[in-house]
Amino acid sequence: MNRVLIIDDDRFTQNVLRKYLCKTYDTRTADNGAMGIKVANSWPPDIILLDVEMPGQNGYEVCDELKRQETTSNIPVVFLSGKSSVRERMLGFEVGADDYLTKPCEPEFLQQKLTKITDAYLKRATLVRSAEQAEKTAMEAMSTSFELGKAVRFVEQSYNVRNYDELAQALTSVVTDLGLNCAAMFTCCDGQRFYGDQQRPISPIEEDLLHMMHSEQRFVDFGCRTLINYPQVALLIKNMPLEDRTRYGRIKDTLPFVLGACDAKVRILDAENALKTQSEHLSRSASGLEKLLKQVSATVTTNQNNVRAIMLNLTTELSTQLHKMGLEGDQEDYVLKQIDIAANRLHEEANSVDSVEHALNTMVKLLQILSAEQTRIIEENLASANAAPAEATQDIELF
C-alpha cells in the first residue's frame, strides 16, 4: 500500500483527508513543517499533501527544503490551499511541487490526482532504472571493448617481438594498462625467466610462487591474487578487483586470450633459437670437417708420393742388383713382373683413395650448401616476422 504524508496545521482537514484515503493509502500526519520534514525522513512517503499556510515555515518553504534534501527530493508534493490564484500556483511550481489543489477537494478528484501522480512517478522511476541499466551496460561494453582492444593489440605486437625480454615487456605493459600489477615467468628452452611489471621488480617469493605453482590448474586464486598458468607462461596478478565482480570476470576472460598468444610466441622463440643453434652447429661442423679432410688429403697425398718413391727406388735397385744375383733370365723377369704388379696395385689403391676424397669433398660442399640455405631461411623468416604491418602502429577499438 502506498504511503501518503499529510502536513497541515488544521486537525479537521487532517481527519477528512485521512478518511478519504484510508482505504487505498497508508497515511500519517504532521501539524507543521518541521514535524513534516522529520516524518518524511523517518517514514519516506510516496506522496506528500502539503498545506500552504502554516505557523512557522509555510508550505512553500517546507517544499523547498524537501526538494533540497537528497533523501526526500524525489517525493512528489501536492499543495492543498484555500487560495487558487495564478501567483500561488506559480510559487508552488517554482519550489518543485507536482500539483496544486484547492480546498475543499472532492474525494474522487483527489484520488484521481494521487493515482495519476503515483503512476507518473512509477513510470519515471522505471525509466530512470532503465536508463541507469542502459548506462551500466554501455559502460561495461566500452570497458570490454577497451580490454579486448588491448588484448588484440598485444597479439599484433607479439608478431614483431624478437626475444623473450621484448615479449615480457609487451605482456606486462598490456596488464599494467588494464590497471593491474603483475609478475611473469617464461619457461624457455634454456630455463625459466622471471619478470616484474613497470611498477616494481619481481621479488624472490613471487619467483618461488610462480615456479612452485606452475604445474597447478589454469587459475589459482588466493585473496586478491590470481595465478594463471600456461605450459610456457605463468602470470601472477596481484590486485584483482574483488569488489567489482563484473570486471573480475572480464579480466579472467581477457587475460587467457593474451596468455595463449604469449605462450605460442614463447614456443616460436624457442624454435627459432633451436634452429639458430642447429644452423651454427651445422656450419661449424661443415667447417671442421672441411679442415679435417684437407689434413687427411694432405697426409694421403704425402703417403702416396712416398710409396711411389719407395717403389721406384725398389724397382731401380732390383734392376741393378738382379744381374749380380746369378738368376736365370726367366727368374729375373718373374721378379720384375711381380714388382710391376705390386706397383700397379698400389697405384690403383691410390686412385681409390682419390675417389673417397672426392666423395668426402662433395659431402662437405653439400653440408655447406645446406647450412647456408638453412641460415637464409631463418633470416628471411625473422625479417618477415619483424616487418610490422602498417596497421600494427594504430590503436585497436572494438565496437
Lookup: cell for 372:
647456408
Higher-confidence residue: 52 or 371? 52
Clarify whether residues 247 and 294 are in a common domain: no
Domain-located, residue 375: yes
Cross-strand pairs, 368:
none
Clarify whether residues 157 and 259 are in a common domain: yes
Clarify whether residues 334 and 265 are in a common domain: no
Higher-confidence residue: 214 or 141? 214
Per-residue pLDDT band at 322 (split at 50, 70, 90): low
Domain-located, residue 7: yes
Count: domains in the chain: 3
What is the span of the domain harbouring residue 230?
Answer: 150-270
Clarify whether residues 236 and 288 are in a common domain: no
Tell how far CA 241 is from the center of its chain.
Answer: 16
Domain-located, residue 399: no
Per-residue pLDDT band at 186 (split at 50, 70, 90): very high
Clarify whether residues 162 and 206 are in a common domain: yes
- pLDDT tens, 223-267? 999 999 999 999 999 999 999 888 899 899 999 999 999 999 999
Clarify whether residues 266 and 281 are in a common domain: no
Domain-located, residue 206: yes
- Residue the block writes with cell 704425402: 302
Clarify whether residues 300 and 256 are in a common domain: no
Per-residue pLDDT band at 288 (split at 50, 70, 90): confident
The pLDDT of residue 62 is 93
Domain-located, residue 56: yes
Clarify whether residues 70 and 164 are in a common domain: no
Higher-confidence residue: 305 or 16? 16
Which residues 6+ apart lie within 8 Å of 156 measured at CB? 389, 391, 392, 396
SS3 181: coil
- List the CATH number of the domain containing 98: 3.40.50.2300
- Residue the block writes with cell 587475460: 255
Domain-located, residue 226: yes
Statement: the pTM of the whole predicted model exceeds 0.95? no
Which residues 6+ apart lie within 8 Å of 65 measured at CB? 33, 37, 57
Sheet holding 2-7, edge to edge: 25-30, 2-7, 47-51, 77-81, 99-102
Average pLDDT over residues 156-185: 91
- pLDDT tens, 98-145? 889 888 888 888 888 888 888 888 888 888 787 777 666 666 666 667
Q: Which of 156-165, 349-358, 379-388 has the lowest mean pLDDT?
A: 379-388
Q: Which of 105, 139, 159 is the last residue of a domain?
A: 105
